[in-house]
Structure 1
Amino acid sequence: MTSGAGNGGRKWRTMGLAAIAVVAGMALMLGMIGAMEWTNRTEFCVSCHSMQTNYDELKKSVHYTNRSGAHAQCADCHVPKEWGAKVIRKVLAVNDVVAEIKGTLDTPEKYEAKRGELAERVWKYMAASGSRECMTCHSYESMGGPKQSTAARQKHKDAAQEGRTCIACHKGVAHKMPPREE
């Protein structure tokens, strides 16, 4: 009789540990989701000195102020919406945080010296993703053809047929272009 009670106790202990593991896993997942969303806020992005320059440039662009009232935040252009791609992008973004902590970009002069390299990295990422973040708001199918110039309408039609990405033509849309290297 004692051995039966021991097995029952072991069973309840195992179930209790499993329940604790499930609850801990859920708490960890919710914490991770919360952290991911918290770091998507523009206020988080511009809390680094180096990103203030980018934010000041964004505020002068059509992506910040326009006739339709649409207002892009940092994450709208730089963070994918899909979970897997978002996690990968966030892991890669740790390099930016490390650079800020190390002082690699902590002055406007240091940021400007690296601007070309940083822009190339972002453009390469955007091209590789098919300008996925751009396509969240813009698509060839939904562009207002009659509101575009004849040249723009033709260029967008050609780009769609050829499978070109937004970033192939629209570098420097929300931030100033880096100086060209000779």
Structure 2
Amino acid sequence: MAGDTVYPLGVGGIGIETRHVLMALMVGGVAGVIFMVVLLEFDHYTSSVEFCTTCHSMELVAEPYYQSSHYNPASGVRAECGDCHVSEGVFAATWDHLVGSKDLYKQLFGPDYDDPVVNKLHLPDAAFAAREWFRKRDSATCSRCHTIDAIVGTRPATQLIHQQETEGKSCIDCHYNLVHTPVPHRKVFDREAWNRQIEEEFGLEAGSSDTILEQGKRL
């Protein structure tokens, strides 16, 4: 009819294709928000002590942690597994969890880590891998709670050391064996001595630890 407005491309002057694009953007936006919320919750839960100690083998690893200053700090600020062992940022954290899934594979198909003897025999390898992880990231997760310039310490030279002798060094280079069962530095680690120590601790026959390491379990 004369005088009527004609919209050849769609209602309100918006073309049908344009409406489809806008609808797709809206749906995609909502889906993206839901995805991020799920991802954040996933990273939060899988970084918790509750999740990490689901496996019995990790309960063994956590025992010294429960006695450490990271679990029982004077400040009351407790560091959980993910605070130290998971990178900051949702995507970096998710990547760490994906890479860490190989530990689940080892738990299911590798040595019998639930056995305290097997667990402790393999502990040095885990300790060295963890220290290297920290070193590659310049101990970035430590700075979530600790600020080097604010460190005073209880010993006279502590503050001076952190201000003058940290060039080219990472926190983990000096501060290891703080939370979990102590393992010597890689440079001085002696596998033979470690095995003999485990045999004495658990009352095993001399030399049996070598066989246990090879077989991945106690027969």
User: Which TM-score applies when normalising by structure 1?
Assistant: 0.81
Structure 1: stretches of 5+ with no match in the other structure: none
- Whichever structure has more helix as a proportion of its residues is 1
Q: Could you say which residue in structure 2 is the equivalent of 1:150?
A: 156
Q: Could you say which residue in structure 1 is the equivalent of 2:47?
A: 40
Letter in 2 for 1:152: T
Q: Could you say which residue in structure 2 is the equivalent of 1:99?
A: 106
Residues 1:174 and 2:179 aligned together: yes
- Does the 8 Å contact 2:65/2:180 carry over to 1? yes
- Distance (Å, rounded) in 2 between the aligned partners of 1:48 and 1:35: 18
- Distance (Å, rounded) in 1 between the aligned partners of 2:129 and 2:17: 55
If you compute each CA radius of gyration, which structure gives the higher value, 1 or 2? 2
Give the CA deviation at 1:155.
Answer: 3.2
Give the CA deviation at 1:109.
Answer: 2.6
Structure 2: stretches of 5+ with no match in the other structure: 1-5, 192-219
Q: What is the alpha-carbon root mean square deviation over aligned residues?
A: 2.8
- Distance (Å, rounded) in 1 between the aligned partners of 2:18 and 2:142: 53
Which range is displaced more, 100-109 or 129-138?
100-109
Question: Residues 1-182 of structure 1 correspond to what in structure 2 (within 5 A)?
Answer: 11-104=18-111, 105-144=113-152, 147-160=153-166, 162-178=167-183, 180-182=189-191
Which range is displaced more, 98-107 or 117-126?
98-107
Where relative contact order (Cα < 8 A, 6+ residues apart) is larger, the structure is: 1
Give per-residue Cα distances to partners, 1:22-70, cap 9 Å, x unaligned.
3223322222222111211210111121211121110111111133223
**Quick one: percent identity of the two aligned structures?**
25
- Distance (Å, rounded) in 2 between the aligned partners of 1:10 and 1:139: 54
